[in-house]
Structure 1
Amino acid sequence: METAAFNNNEVALFEEQLQPSVVSTDKPFIQANTIESSLEEIKSRHVIPVFTRDNEPVISHADFIESVVNVASSIYVGETLLKPSIRLSHAIKGRIPEAKDKPANALLEHEKTLYYERMAFVLEIPTIQDEIDGNQLSLTIGGVKAYNLDNLYARKGADEHFKIFIGFQNKVCTNLCVWTDGYLNDLKVKSLGQLKACIRTMIEGYNANYHIHALRALSNYGLTEQQFAILIGKCRMYNHLPSNMKNEIIPLQLSDTQLGTVAKDYYRDNSFCRMNDGSINLWRLYNLFTGANKSSYIDTFIDRSVNSFHFVDLLRGALDSKSTNWFLN
């Protein structure tokens, strides 16, 4: 029988390897409409939604985070795991029955209930690092949970949806470097045991060396100022193309506002701006994309992060083979 509880070995690993005094990043890895929280606050103050047909609890945000920490601890034995950095959005407020007739401004703290519909977190392993173009990268694992994707009108045992990923975080700017081989974008499970098994499978199947090799290759290719201008213009044009043309092109999923941020940071970013001759290598361009992506909502944040790498890697392939790419021609 599967169980939601940790066994004694799991608890020991959790307590021994997690560094409770150091948070995985001192800067937000996502901004948009999110707020910062902690695992302790979620566990002590936030109520847990239930399946309405049988009043059984869903897999909570805290359960999810602790499962990732536990599985990562058991795989990366001897490595340091920092305290998870957690961002929340879409507050669902309520009140206890005894306070149903009180005006909102008269509610006492113990009469209020609260949970957040959407949550994203990252867990940094700083003892597994590499460097690209002078930027230090740390191995990072994380996930996204959105209760709005679950059918809470069902019974316990219905599919619960999660997103999990493993990749690297650029310590210069807290940008996440994630690609398809380290990402499960619509994981459906029925129990905490299944969730842990899927987390383990994803982590064990991830090839960190290959990912770093692919990221490092980006610094060997660059765009001229004219090519960058064409790229930004074509990205803005993409959404207005006829459907038959769109179907043949891999898009960049950033919004027009985010593309404006990329154009601005091409000139102004302290770490990833253009060179003196106006050129920019693809590693810097990729970080401009992932930096702009921080303004995405939790719902689209990781998908756009993965898309950013895929998009820039296609540019690299076109430059390497001197083949045609619609965004550059």
Structure 2
Amino acid sequence: MYPSPPPLGEPPADPALRRILEAAGLPTTGYYRATAGWVSRAWIGEDYVVRLNTDERFRDAYRHEAHVVALLTGSEIPHARHIAHGDGPDGPWYVSERLPGRTLHEAWPAADATTRRSLIESLGDTLHALHHVPVPVGLLPPWLARALSGGPWPAYHPPVVSAMLQQVDAARQVSGHDPSLLAEVAEWIGSRLPLFAADDPVLVHGDVHGSNVIVEGGRVTGLINLAEAVAQPADAELDTILRWCARPQEFPPTPRERGLDRAALSEVPRWLRETYPELFAREQLRERLDVYDMSMELAIHAHHPEAGVRDVAQERIARLLAGCSHLDDLHWSAASD
């Protein structure tokens, strides 16, 4: 719910917002509610959502998102229509239409079990449609392409299996690394790469969790924040979804907020599997999911600036080598696949 808006016709108070609206050719009047994200500022109006990138490392993110949204034009996939994007004195900006509803994260706590199941069934149908959109070969977010070429790693998902041995080499340059552990990791990866040899990449959102799905009335009204979208095997989509279900505390809407309760998400994997069984139908799915997980933890261990975070990633890598991961804690388990 919005607080009481200012008088009709009064311009937004934030000068950065006014400059973006002007650059987009939109009216510079109307009420907008300011919000914050992990790497952006945002303003939600009655008809439009305005975002301003505040992290230089993701400077090309909105250009990539506009390209991905264009791929969805004419499809049945619910998404926020692109209005305009550009680069201004305050940084890169993006304007999209405002979708009806609120985020899945916001709607979930008050929803009953029937509504929750309907929401996940709608999400499954939406992802099925997304994964059938023609995708350019090699589609990558610009920050990820730069990272794979030797640049900094400002984020650690979506997983990129083909770059995993490269990340082992990068981890070997980190002070305090465990040479024997990394040697075991390299052998572990090499024995599993053949699992991905015959993959056909599809359009994968890459960051599906509660804050990136808009819902209303028991259905998904849109996937948002497509700046991480990538050409990958369809089951790579499960990497973030299942991690969100197992470790929701790691997925708050903003750094100052809290994630959902894990118990409240316990049925999500099963409902999703029943709605979109093809997503779970790959042979040796558990092994593939473990590889995706290793890809992210290895990137964190090799590139995260905080030693404590790198240490946690190293512990999780050791658990993966021992055959254990967050997947063991889910109501649905891929262990039988």
TM above 0.5, yes or no, is no
Please give the TM-score of this superposition, normalised by the length of structure 2.
Answer: 0.25
Please give the TM-score of this superposition, normalised by the length of structure 1.
Answer: 0.25
Higher helix share goes to which structure? 2
